[in-house]
Amino acid sequence: MMQQAVLKFLLLFSVLVVSACSSFDDEDELGPAELIDFKEEMEFDRLWSQSVGDGQGKLYNRLRPAHDGKMIVVASADGEVEAFNLKDGDSLWDVDVDAEVSGAISIVGDAVFIGTLTGDVIALNKKNGKQLWKVNVQAEVLAAPAGDGQLVFVQTLDDQLLALNAQTGARVWSYRNTMPVLTLRGTSTPLYMRGVVAAGFANGKVVAFNAENGSVLWDARIAASTGNSEIERIVDIDGDLLLEDGTLYAVSYQGAITAIDPASGSRKWSREASSYVSMGYGFNNVYVANQEGSIIAFANNGQGVRWEQSVLARRQLTGPATLSNFVIVGDFEGYLHAFSQLDGHLVAREKVDSDGLRSRLIVHNDVLYVYSNDGTLAAYRLVKKSKGFFSS
C-alpha cells in the first residue's frame, strides 16, 4: 500500500508538470509567478498557533482539521491527534494512534474519525481521544469520513464508498466504482444530505445513494475522458462537493464545474474548468482555484465568469475559502492571499510558514483556521489595515 501511495504521488507530480508545460510557450518561464507588490487594505491578525507532529508528512497528504463549533481536531501524518479549544487554542487532549494518517479528520456525533495509509478507519471519543474502535477497509483512506451519527461514510483511494456503523465500525453496505487506468492521488469527501450521501469518483461522475441501504438514486457526469494519452484522460473529482442554496456543485480535473439539482441529479449548468482542490462560495459566486493557479469566480446562476485572477499562476493553490468580503487561498511557499470577492483584487498577504500550505482552509465565526505542511495550526482574523503600504 505504501508503494501504491508513492506511485500515486509521483503521478500527481508528473501530471502537474505536464499540465504546466502545455499551458505556456517555450520562451515563457514555467516557474511559479513572483509575488507582486500591492497596496494592503487588510491584514491577517494571528490569534493563536500550535504545532502538531510532522504535519502533512512526506507524501502528498492534504490532512485538514475538523471542528464542531467549540473544538478543532487535527492529525499529523505520523499519527499524533490533538484537540484544541477553537477560541483560544488551548490543548484539550492529544493521543498517538500509532499509524500513518492519510485521511482528513471528521467529527460526526460524539466521535472523531480518521483514515490511515494502511486502510484503517479509527474512531476516537470526542471528549478525551480514547479509541472506540478500528476497522480495516482494505485501501488507503484520503478523504474525511462523513456521516449522520448513525452511519459513517468512507471513500477509499480505490474508489470504493463504504457505510460503517458509527458505534461499532461494522460494514453496512459498500459500492465500488470502476476506476480508470490512471488517477490522481486524491479523493473527495462524501457529502451527507438528509438521508442521501453523494460522492465524486475518479471517472468524473457524482453518484447519490440512499444512505440507509446504499441503493443508487442518481448519477451525474461532470466530465468525460478525452485525449490520446491516459494522462490527458484523467478527470478525477478530488475536490469536495459543495452544497449551497439548494444546489450541489462539483468540479473535476481536466473537465468542468457543474451545478446539479441534489434531488434529481439533473444538470443545471456546466462550464469548462480543471481543478483538484475544493471550491469556495460567497457573493453568489462559486470560486475555483484551477490547475494553472488562477482563481475563477463563476456566477452561481450559470451566467459565466464574473472575474478571474491569475497573479498566483503555478503557485499550487489550496482550495478557496471565503471570509467576510474576501476569498482566501494558500500556496506552496506558505503564504495566505486574500482577494476581494467583488472584483478579485488582492487585499492582503501573510506567510504562515516556509514549508507551504496544501490543506483545505477552514472558516468559522469570521476566523480562518490554517494547517500548514509543517504542522502549524493557526487561527487568523482579517482586519483593516491602519496604514496602507505596499507589500512585496
Closest alpha carbon to 148 in 113, 119, 116: 113
Q: Is the pLDDT at 73 greater than 50, yes or no?
A: yes
**In sequence order, what DSSP letters do the residues of 43-65 get, joined into one string?**
EEEEEEEEE-TTTT-SS------
* Stretch(es) of the chain classified as CATH 2.130.10.10: 1-24+60-237, 32-52+287-392
Three cell numbers, residue 191: 457529502
Write the pLDDT tens digit of every residue in 241-295.
999 999 999 999 999 999 999 999 999 999 999 999 999 999 999 999 999 999 9
Please report, for residues 40, 102, 224, 305, 347, the alpha-carbon distance to residue 337 in angstroms, rounded to integers and kept in the order given.
11, 26, 33, 20, 8
Three cell numbers, residue 199: 460522492
Which DSSP symbol is given to 180? Answer: P
Quote the pLDDT of residue 210: 97
- Please state, in angstroms and rounded to a whole number, the distance separating the CA atoms of residues 355 and 348: 20
Quote the pLDDT of residue 247: 98
Residue with cell 475555483: 288
Which CATH number describes the domain made up of 1-24+60-237? 2.130.10.10
Which CATH number describes the domain made up of 32-52+287-392? 2.130.10.10
Name the percent of the chain in helix, strand, coil, to the closest 5.
5, 45, 50
Which DSSP symbol is given to 167? Answer: T
Q: Is the pLDDT at 11 greater than 90, yes or no?
A: no
Q: What is the largest CA-CA distance in the chain?
A: 59
Bridge-based pairing of strands 151-155 and 146-147 is: antiparallel
- Please state, in angstroms and rounded to a whole number, the distance separating the CA atoms of residues 56 and 327: 24
Three cell numbers, residue 324: 467576510
Helix (H, G, I), strand (E, B) or coil at 379: strand
Closest alpha carbon to 164 in 188, 193, 186, 132: 132
Least confident residue range of 16-25, 43-52, 62-71, 307-316 = 16-25
Global confidence as pTM: 0.90
Quote the pLDDT of residue 29: 61
Q: Do residues 204 and 237 make contact, with C-beta atoms less than 8 angstroms apart?
A: yes
Q: Is the pLDDT at 23 greater than 60, yes or no?
A: no
Which DSSP symbol is given to 265? Answer: -
Helix (H, G, I), strand (E, B) or coil at 133: strand
Write the pLDDT tens digit of every residue in 105-154.
999 999 999 999 999 999 999 999 999 999 999 999 988 999 988 999 99
What is the total residue count of the chain? 392
**In sequence order, what DSSP letters do the residues of 243-254 get, joined into one string?**
EETTEEEEE-TT
Three cell numbers, residue 259: 451545478
Q: Is the pLDDT at 4 greater than 50, yes or no?
A: no
- Please state, in angstroms and rounded to a whole number, the distance separating the CA atoms of residues 234 and 181: 9
Provide mean pLDDT across the span 219-237: 85
Residues 6+ apart with CB under 8 A from 27: none
Please report, for residues 154, 159, 267, the alpha-carbon distance to residue 190 in angstroms, rounded to integers and kept in the order given.
7, 11, 19
Helix (H, G, I), strand (E, B) or coil at 345: coil
Quote the pLDDT of residue 13: 42
Order of strands across the sheet that contains 242-244: 242-244, 247-251, 255-260, 267-273
Which DSSP symbol is given to 34? Answer: P
Q: Is the pLDDT at 28 greater than 80, yes or no?
A: no
Q: Do residues 82 and 73 make contact, with C-beta atoms less than 8 angstroms apart?
A: yes
Q: What is the CA radius of gyration of the chain?
A: 20
